[in-house]
Amino acid sequence: MTPAAPRIAVIGGGPGGLYAAALLKRRAPRREITLWERNAPEDTFGFGVVFSDDTLGGIETADPEVHAELRKEFVHWDHIDVVHRGRRLRSGGHGFAAVGRRTLLSVLHRRCRELGVTLRFRTEAPPAAQLAREHDLVIAADGVHSATRQAHRSHFRPSLTTHRCRYIWLAADFAFDAFRFEIAETPYGVMQLHGYPYQSGASTVIVEMREEVWRRAGLDRCDEAGTLRHCAAHFAGALQGRPLRANRSAWTAFRTVVNERWSYGRTVLLGDAAHTAHFSIGSGTKLAVEDALALAGQLDGARDVPAALAAYEAERRPVVESTQRAARASLEWFEDLADRTGQPPHRFAFNLLTRSRRVTHDNLRLRDARFVAAVEAEAGIPPGTPPMFTPFRLRGLTLRNRVVVSPMDMYSAVDGTPGDFHLVHLGARALGGAGLVMTEMVCVSAQGRITPGCAGLYTAEHEAAWRRITDFVHGRAPGTALGIQLGHSGRKGSTRLMWEGIDQPLPQGNWPLVAPSPLPYLPGVSQVPHAASAAELRDIREQFVSSARAAARAGFDLLELHCAHGYLLSSFLSPLTNHRTDAYGGDLGGRLAYPLEVFDAVRAVWPADRPMTVRISATDWADGGTTAEDALAIAGAFAAHGADAIDVSTGQVVPFERPAFGRSFQTPFAERIRLGVGVPVIAVGAISSWDDVNSLVLAGRTDLCALARPHLYDPHWTLHAAAEQGYEGVGAPWPPPYRAGSRRPPTGRG
Q: What residues are labeled active site?
A: 567
**Cα gap 634→612, rounded to integer Å:** 16
Residue 600 host element (H or E): helix 588-605
Q: How far apart are CA 699 and CA 144, in angstroms?
A: 33
Burial class for 749, CB neighbours closer than 10 Å (0-12, 13-18, 19+): exposed
CA–CA distance, 597 with 46 (Å, rounded to integer): 56
Q: Single out the residue of 436, 419, 421, 446 nearest to residue 479, CA to CA.
A: 436
Kindly state the DSSP code that residue 697 receives in the 8-state scheme: H
Contact 389, 722 (CB under 8 A): yes
- Given a contact cutoff of 8 angstroms between Cβ atoms, the answer to whether 586 and 540 are in contact is no
CA triple 223-224-227, angle to 5 deg? 85
β-sheet bridge partners, residue 504? none
Measured between alpha carbons, how far apart are the two ends of the chain, in Å? 56
Give me Rg for the CA atoms of the chain: 29
Across the strands, what pairs with 649?
A: 617
Cα separation of 273 and 141, whole Å? 6
- Contact criterion met (CB below 8 Å) for 583 and 497: no
Distance CA 617, CA 520 (A): 19
SS3 content of the chain, % helix, strand, coil (to 5): 40, 20, 40
**Pick from 544, 518, 539, 537: which is nearest to 441 by CA?**
544
Report angle CA 326, 327, 332 to the nearest 5 degrees: 100
- Give dist(CA 693, CA 683) in Å, integer: 10
How far, in Å, CA of 513 to CA of 500, rounded? 20
* CA–CA gap between residue 436 and residue 557 (Å, rounded): 9
707 touches 405 (CB < 8 A): yes
CB 291 within 8 A of CB 316: yes
What does the alpha-carbon distance between residue 604 and residue 608 come to, in Å, rounded to a whole number?
8
> What residues form DSSP beta bridges with 81?
90, 180
Report the Cα 380 to chain-centroid distance in Å: 27
Among the listed residues 514, 485, 491, 516, the one whose alpha carbon sits nearest the alpha carbon of residue 503: 491
Query: Of the candidates 179, 176, 174, 177, which has an alpha carbon nearest to the alpha carbon of residue 201?
Result: 174
CA 330: distance to chain centroid?
Answer: 9
Please give the backbone phi and psi of residue 273, each rounded to the nearest 5 degrees, phi first. Answer: -65, -30
